[in-house]
Amino acid sequence: MPSVTAQTIFTPEEYLALERKATVKSEYLNGKIRAMPRVNFVHNFITVDIATELNIQSRGQDWEVYMSNMRVRTGPKGAYFYPDVVVVCGEPQVEDNVFDTLLNPMLVIEVLSPSTEVYDKGEKFRHYQELMSLQEYILVSQDRVRVEQHRLLKTQWVQTEFGTPEDVLSLASIGCELPLRDIYRRVPEVIS
């Protein structure tokens, strides 16, 4: 007879206590802690280039860019994620006095990897939608030129896809643009 392994369920408070002492990042969903996958050069290049371009465009604006070490809590049940890039407009709202968990992102960008693509497009996106502040959710492929933009228009999420280096991603939530050529500039094998 096969044995059944009991799975530990953690409270959000237990997760935060463990995560703040951990040497590797983990996300939290439905009482379960999930280790973050390692990233490769392509994932890192794309993430850094997006954040750099947004940071340059943020000068003189009322929004700030954060990268993948800034955690986001999504709803009252306490799902916690580490998006690749996050933008907060106005004053950042944080969970507590440790200042490491954002509550009010307006824009979230995830760079997809083969091991996270289904999760990022599905369950994770459903949890991000619990954020009252969220206006745009962007998914960037790392193995081909492909960007999915999900924008909240009144009460509906509308998806637009971009697939050529000549396309320009217009981020209405923060009033800026990201040419796909700039997103993929350090990964020419993806563009060709």
Is residue 33 assigned to a domain? no
What mean pLDDT do residues 121-137 have?
Answer: 96
- Using alpha carbons, select from 37, 171, 83 the residue that is nearest to residue 182: 171
pTM summary value: 0.93
Is residue 4 assigned to a domain? no
- Using alpha carbons, select from 151, 148, 190 the residue that is nearest to residue 45: 190
Domains contained in the chain, number: 1
CATH of the domain at 182: 3.90.1570.10
| pLDDT at residue 4 in the model | 53
pLDDT in tens, 17-34: 999 999 999 999 999 999
How many CB atoms within 10 Å of residue 87? Answer: 25
Q: What residues form DSSP beta bridges with 111?
A: 140
Is residue 27 assigned to a domain? no
- The answer, yes or no, to whether residue 103 has pLDDT greater than 90, is yes
Is residue 10 assigned to a domain? no
How many CB atoms within 10 Å of residue 170? Answer: 13
Q: How many CA atoms lie within 13 A of 102 on its CB side?
A: 30
What mean pLDDT do residues 170-178 have?
Answer: 97
| pLDDT at residue 125 in the model | 97
- The answer, yes or no, to whether residue 60 has pLDDT greater than 80, is yes
Q: Which residue range is the domain that position 127 belongs to?
A: 39-191
Is residue 63 assigned to a domain? yes
